[in-house]
Amino acid sequence: MFRKFNFKGWYEQTLSLYVLNRDCLSMQNLTKNTWIYMKIMIVLFFATCFVTASFTFNTFAEEKGLGTISGTVKAKKAKYLKDTIVYIENVPNAFEPQKEHAVMDQKNMTFIPHVLPLVKGTTVDFLNSDLVQHNVYSPDTVADNFNLGTWLKGETKPFTFNKLGIASIRCNVHVDMLAYVLVLQNPYFARVDNEGRFSITNAPEGTYLIKSWNERFKAEDQQVEVKAGVISSVAFELK
């Protein structure tokens, strides 16, 4: 059975041996070769720490049956990749939402973030950071067609998303303001970077349907098999 490696104890013992070795040698009598030897020992120590840490993480992942999904999303223009979310559609388990509330701000007449992925049951605090009044509402049944009313700068109003799906978020005071909340079944999702790369870590073993969401474009769903300690690759193309 896997046991947690005692890095602290190992480090203290190694450091003690190093200090003892240093003290036993007179500073005046240290030769060039001795200094080289000590430097080599220090480099070996940190290299061993790195290798052991990597081995420990991989062993932990394998014993827990966890894997990683990494890949890329391609688009005709890099700017179209912004706010693309990649996620596993369904994992056979029940997932508790995060206790800490998510936040969607209203700043400079813009919802921030523009796209907010979260697990079903998560509460979002809608904050107004502008000097003007804002309103927050959603015309979608995913969000129970809520309308939180209008409020001033510095105030927040919460809403809990209890239905799966995509909810558009709007302001009836400023009609150009628009955002999206993606209410997902599980926490295995990722936002792509500027190069279209993404990584979903600590995913349980199994075969899943993995999807991408983009405000303007669509990509074909992909099937992926997750294995413990293995990185599975997936590629999407937005069209």
Taking the C-alpha atoms of residue 217 and residue 111, their distance in angstroms, rounded to an integer, is 21
pLDDT tens-place string over residues 69-82? 999 999 999 999 99
Nearest to 231, CA basis, from 71, 68, 88, 72: 68
The per-residue pLDDT for range 157-176, each reduced to its tens digit, is 999 999 999 999 999 999 99
| Strands across the sheet containing 189-191 | 189-191, 85-88, 206-213, 222-226
Q: Are 72 and 173 in contact (CB under 8 A)?
A: no
d(CA 32, CA 232): 49
Q: Which of 171, 186, 172, 192 is nearest to 106 (CA)?
A: 171
What tokens were used for 229? 């300690």
pLDDT tens readout for residues 50-101: 434 444 444 444 445 899 999 999 999 999 999 999 999 999 989 999 999 9
**What is the 3 state secondary structure string of 90-107?**
CCCCCCCCCCCCEEEEEE
Q: State pTM to two decimals.
A: 0.74
**Alpha carbon 215 to chain centroid, angstroms:** 20
Of the two residues 157 and 32, the one the predictor is more confident about is 157
Q: What is the CA radius of gyration of the chain?
A: 25
Assigned token pair, 41: 């020992």
